[in-house]
C-alpha cells in the first residue's frame, strides 16, 4: 500500500513544473519517510558495488534501490509516485534511481549536464523526484536552467570514452546497431562512467557556469521532507566549492509517463534496467509494453 503525501501538490506548483521545468514542492514527506530515506541511503553507501562510482568527492550509485531495502521502500511505498504522477497528470512508471552522496567537508560543484543522453529513453513525459535526508542550502543545492526542458535539444554526455581521441570508441560509435543496446547485461559485471562512448555528434552542453548572467537559473534552499521535481530533459547541476559541516545524501528517482519509449542510443552511458534485457526491447516500443519490468506505480484512478 502506497502512502499519501502530507498534502496535495497545488495547481500553481504543477504549472511551475511544466513552465519552468522544475519546482520545489515544500513539506510533502513525513518525518518517518525522511528517516527511512536517511537509513536507506546509508545502507547503499555502506554497500558499494560495481554500479558505485567515486567522482572526486561525489559518490554516485546507479540503481541503489536494488541493494537498499530502505530505498526500495521509498520507490515502492512512499508518496513519490503520486507526487510525480499528479505533476504529469498521468499514470507513471518507475524507471530507475540514483544516489548522490557528498560527505561533509568540501563540496565540489556538480557540472551542468542533461540526463536524456545517458539512457535508452525518448519522450517528453520524464520527471525526476529529488529528495535528501539532509538540509541542503541554496549554494550547494540543485540548480536548473529555467525552461531548458523545452529547447528540443539532446546534448552530448559529459561521461564516456572520447571517440575523437580513442579509435576503439570511434569504432563503437560508428558501428552501433539500431537493434541492440551498446551496453549489454554484462555491464552489471563491470561498469563505470567510461564503459560507454560519448556521442560527440551531439551538441556540447553550453558553458553555463562561465556565463551565468546569460541564463535564467533556478535554485532553492532545501529542507528534508521537500521534493524537487525536475524534467528529464532539463539542464541542471549543483553549486559547490563550499565546506559543509554535514553530508548531502540525495536520492533521485526517474519516472516515466505515457509517451516514453525505448530508444537505442549509440552513446548510451547507463545500462538498461537489468530486468529489461530479457525482453530485447526495440527502439520505439513504449515502456508500457513491458509491464513486468515497469508496472504502473500510480495513476489518476488511484485517487478516484
- The pLDDT score that the predictor gives to residue 6 is 97
pLDDT score at 164: 92
Q: What is the pLDDT of residue 177?
A: 85
Q: Could you tell me the pTM of the whole model?
A: 0.96
Look at residue 297 and give its three-state secondary structure. strand
| Helix (H) / strand (E) containing 41 | helix 31-45
Nearest-angstrom CA–CA distance, 133 and 118: 26
Q: Which fold has domain 11-298?
A: Jelly Rolls (2.60.120)
Which pLDDT value is given to residue 303?
72
Residues 226, 136 contacting (CB under 8 angstroms):
no
Question: Which residues, 6+ apart, have CB-to-CB distance to 235 below 8 Å?
Answer: 112, 113, 114, 144, 145, 148, 155, 205, 206, 208
- Dist. CA 182–CA 169, nearest whole Å: 11
Residue 106 vs residues 100, 102, 130, 135: alpha-carbon distances, Å: 15, 9, 21, 16
Query: How is residue 274 written as a grid cell?
Result: 537489468
Over the chain (304 residues), what is each successive 10-residue block's mean pLDDT? 93 98 98 98 98 94 98 98 97 98 94 95 97 96 97 96 92 87 95 95 96 97 98 95 94 98 95 97 97 97 75
Q: What Cα–Cα distance (Å) separates residue 151 from each residue in 58, 99, 114, 147, 210?
A: 29, 27, 12, 7, 20
Residue given cell 528529464 in the structure block = 232
How much is the pLDDT for 176? 87
Amino acid at each position: 500500500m502506497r502512502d499519501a503525501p502530507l498534502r496535495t501538490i497545488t495547481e500553481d506548483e504543477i504549472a511551475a513544473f511544466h513552465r519552468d521545468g522544475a519546482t520545489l514542492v515544500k513539506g510533502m514527506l513525513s518525518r518517518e519517510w525522511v528517516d527511512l530515506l536517511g537509513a536507506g541511503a546509508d545502507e547503499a553507501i555502506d554497500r558499494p558495488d560495481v554500479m558505485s562510482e567515486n567522482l572526486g568527492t561525489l559518490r554516485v550509485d546507479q540503481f541503489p534501490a536494488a541493494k537498499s531495502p530502505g530505498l526500495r521502500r521509498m520507490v515502492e511505498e512512499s508518496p513519490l509516485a503520486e507526487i510525480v504522477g499528479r505533476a504529469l497528470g498521468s499514470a507513471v512508471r518507475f524507471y530507475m534511481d540514483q544516489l548522490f552522496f557528498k560527505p561533509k567537508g568540501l563540496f565540489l560543484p556538480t557540472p551542468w549536464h542533461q540526463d536524456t543522453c545517458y539512457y535508452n529513453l525518448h519522450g517528453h513525459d520524464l520527471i525526476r523526484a529529488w529528495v535528501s535526508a539532509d538540509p541542503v542550502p541554496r549554494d550547494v543545492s540543485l540548480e536548473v536552467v529555467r525552461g531548458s526542458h523545452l529547447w528540443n535539444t539532446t546534448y552530448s554526455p559529459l561521461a564516456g570514452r572520447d571517440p575523437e581521441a580513442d579509435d576503439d570508441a570511434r569504432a563503437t560509435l560508428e558501428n552501433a546497431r539500431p537493434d541492440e543496446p551498446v551496453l549489454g547485461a554484462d555491464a552489471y559485471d563491470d561498469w563505470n562512467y567510461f564503459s560507454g562512448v560519448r556521442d560527440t555528434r551531439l551538441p556540447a552542453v553550453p558553458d553555463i557556469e562561465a556565463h551565468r548572467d546569460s541564463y535564467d537559473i533556478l535554485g532553492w534552499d532545501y529542507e528534508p521532507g521537500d521534493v524537487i521535481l525536475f524534467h528529464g530533459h532539463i539542464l541542471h547541476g549543483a553549486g559547490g566549492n563550499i565546506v559543509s559541516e554535514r553530508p548531502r545524501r540525495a536520492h533521485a528517482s526517474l519516472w516515466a509517463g505515457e509517451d516514453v519509449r525505448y530508444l537505442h542510443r549509440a552513446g548510451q552511458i547507463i545500462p538498461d534496467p537489468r530486468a529489461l534485457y530479457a525482453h530485447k526491447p526495440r527502439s520505439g516500443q513504449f515502456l508500457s509494453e513491458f509491464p513486468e519490468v515497469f508496472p504502473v506505480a500510480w495513476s489518476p484512478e488511484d485517487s478516484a
